[in-house]
Structure 1
């Protein structure tokens, strides 16, 4: 069992002042596998003070982007050395099957850091501009000290989506890990120390709601970057708005996959099994609504349900497991409640719908498929965050687009077709921040984020770097024009 009484502040491990700890519980065995401090407000003060000093008087913001890229390269090297340990730790903490932990969680996070290391090496933070009245210099300066708050479902990847561009921009960071999955964040801190990141540039702690809200409202924090539920995102936006504090919010989703009449149905259903049930459906871009032409509806449901029924549910450390546990008993109860709601609303349960009978321990729910789902049903409107998929029929493409746009969310949709041009045309009509034709790709070079209740701002790509920069204009007299 990993036990620590320390937090990572100002480049070193220091004893927490908290009288409380967070037990890290394995969702597959229900055993306590680790224990870390539940950071106190005094711990938050220390971490923010360190980040503030590092930004206000330290070298990091004053290095050139290329110089910062050299240090980011060292951090990348240290994290690559810990990649297997990171993957094993995440599987133990949140139950993601081991077959997916390294590739989908760790390697993708390393790719994000690799992308921003490369971008920083060529980024010009200052450029002349001719201007209509007089010449100017336009600078892009780091926004300041950042609170990066990450959830438990894809913790390392989502941390890198914040830490990598913030560091590349010259910001300093307090990384606040989820209470359920703090151990991988501690490995990030170890890597930062080994890489020689200047003291105070990256500080790491884990905390519950009270200290987390204290961090968000701390006057020493200039920007909050958060991934999590829409409800918490609204709270953060409200608190930050009172201080005119910058925010990036990546929130909930209820993504729709539109299957067009010409789609290769067998291929689309096989791939959508993964895109709806990865991490047991506990990921924000899950394609939890599958929208199918009425004349292919029965066939699609049959193919999908047959594949789902054959998925192995069980121990996430076994290489053949596809469906691991949910994060907690509370989350399992929530998902089971939604399954009951689906039945009560009149949807037809095709497969799943309960706890696996062969698993006595662990927070498991069978992968569940509903058909005969109306767009207004709660299981078609609300984010369940579990292994529950709803099939909805449509008569024409206009109706499919209406169904896809019918929720308060707008994070990531997909369309499935043999005609890529038509797929792009449909994508232009869907109100989402991100859209995929025949698949999902969170490419480090392309912006990711949502509209409506799915968030504010963008991560990844040059846009992700820009969100940690403030433009500054320095005007020159007209006589300076050459």
Structure 2
């Protein structure tokens, strides 16, 4: 009997979409076709691959009006935010722009006696396991440069955003990319892990939970398959004594609450210099109190349901733990009557928090934030580093030199000053500690998606 994957809409708990999961034999056959097709794809001129990926992005962009309400139904993001294509285009087109330089051979010597160079060659078949929170943005980080570099790509999307991978492949096929070069597969966990263990892929990129990352590493153990992992986060924000507390609150609270807090690099804990604490908190409460939790298909709704009731349950448990340990919620729950104890979760701001509370230590991935006062930079750095995760950190200050010095002390992949919750495609996207390992975007993203090959040619 064929297993079925379902997307349960968080709006009403009904089945929004379902697809049959590929059997192990069907999945293996698809990977085999990709491997055959990849050779001819890699042999095409780089400029041709770049042009086809650009055309694929344009074809996907043309679907945006359909994608936006579809995303609202699949994972609850309000339509007022317009989908993900702005970021998709920024990232994919930047990677297209830098491809010729990033993939060019590195010439060591070119003389009458020797030619010595280091070339970049595609891995072969790249497997992309994408998450539901930003299904197009997260996938394109790897899909676009992997195809440009000459790899074939197999995409597996989360069941919560079941239709996203299907749309991506349809757009790229319409643009002229051969169907076997870029394929979307509906896979269950068992088949996914079996394929990795069988060395079906030449590179695996996974974005998701720490537990999911461990499962991928276990499956790949002994295969020597390179793996890129972007896992959990607990990204901190710090407001220094010289910062404008209102501007800092505007940036950090949006970074904490956008997409109902379901952002890989969303702000999950905030530290504010004690001299700015009251003003920051006052502005934070004002912002959050103005949100509207409602039907994500309603243009007036700022927040919809979380993607699944079980995700909201994690946040509720953290809030209960925080309150039991003395934390104080500041947002009146009566402002959000749609909170139903399930997927519909009201946003909340907490003070009187500390690092004994799970809300300040474990990933929340929801519309909740704890705010702590600090005495100085040293205390802020110690608290920001007191985490199992390290994806991004945001510092709000008027002193760029101080921000850089603090950033040097932080255990994180990216340091922001006066902004947060953003991926600059010209900079490498990476993390440390339990956030994972690897590199995406920038020239280093191409290094991750290719292997080096040396040429030492003696002419005389």
Counterpart CA distance in 2 for 1:426 and 1:260 is: 11
2:31 aligned to which of 48, 55, 78: 48
2:4 aligned residue:
21
Counterpart CA distance in 2 for 1:353 and 1:239 is: 44
1:384 aligned residue:
364
Matched, 1:442 2:423: yes
**Contact 1:433/1:451 (CA < 8 Å) preserved in 2?**
yes
Counterpart CA distance in 1 for 2:335 and 2:122 is: 49
Show the 5 A alignment for 1:78-227.
78-102=59-83, 105-130=84-109, 135-227=115-207
2:271 aligned to which of 262, 284, 291: 291
Give the secondary-structure state (helix, strand or coil) at the position aligned to 1:295: coil
Displacement of 1:298 after TM fit? 2.7
Q: Tell me the C-alpha RMSD between the 2 structures.
A: 2.1
The change in CA–CA distance for 1:352 and 1:406 in structure 2 (over 3 A counts) is farther
**Contact 1:336/1:353 (CA < 8 Å) preserved in 2?**
no
Alpha-carbon displacement from aligned partner over 1:279-337 (angstroms, at most 9, x marks no partner): 11111211111101123323322221221112111111222222211111211222211
2:448 aligned to which of 446, 450, 467: 467
The change in CA–CA distance for 1:450 and 1:123 in structure 2 (over 3 A counts) is closer
2:326 aligned residue:
346
Alpha-carbon displacement from aligned partner over 1:127-178 (angstroms, at most 9, x marks no partner): 4322999641311000111110001100010110110111111111110010
Matched, 1:255 2:235: yes
Alpha-carbon displacement from aligned partner over 1:377-417 (angstroms, at most 9, x marks no partner): 22111001111101112111101000000001000110001
Aligned residue pairs, count: 458
Alpha-carbon displacement from aligned partner over 1:179-216 (angstroms, at most 9, x marks no partner): 11011211111112211112311110223322222233
Displacement of 1:42 after TM fit? 2.3
Show the 5 A alignment for 1:242-391.
242-351=222-331, 356-358=336-338, 363-391=343-371
Counterpart CA distance in 1 for 2:103 and 2:364 is: 43
Q: Greater CA deviation, 467-476 or 228-237? A: 228-237
Counterpart CA distance in 1 for 2:334 and 2:270 is: 21
Counterpart CA distance in 1 for 2:159 and 2:195 is: 15
Q: Greater CA deviation, 307-316 or 64-73? A: 64-73
Counterpart CA distance in 2 for 1:356 and 1:216 is: 44
Counterpart CA distance in 2 for 1:249 and 1:116 is: 20
Displacement of 1:444 after TM fit? 1.5
Give the secondary-structure state (helix, strand or coil) at the position aligned to 2:382: helix
Matched, 1:431 2:414: no
Displacement of 1:23 after TM fit? 2.2
Show the 5 A alignment for 1:402-441.
402-440=382-420, 441=422
1:61 aligned residue:
42
**Contact 2:61/2:85 (CA < 8 Å) preserved in 1?**
no
Counterpart CA distance in 2 for 1:259 and 1:333 is: 30
1:10 aligned residue:
none
**Contact 1:258/1:291 (CA < 8 Å) preserved in 2?**
yes
Please give the TM-score of this superposition, normalised by the length of structure 2: 0.94
Displacement of 1:244 after TM fit? 1.0
Alpha-carbon displacement from aligned partner over 1:49-93 (angstroms, at most 9, x marks no partner): 1211112xx411112322211211221221121122222222221
1:394 aligned residue:
374
Counterpart CA distance in 1 for 2:341 and 2:85 is: 27
Counterpart CA distance in 1 for 2:314 and 2:339 is: 19
Counterpart CA distance in 2 for 1:186 and 1:354 is: 40
Displacement of 1:352 after TM fit? 5.6
Unpaired runs of 5+ residues, structure 2, are none
**Contact 1:176/1:206 (CA < 8 Å) preserved in 2?**
yes
Please give the TM-score of this superposition, normalised by the length of structure 1: 0.90
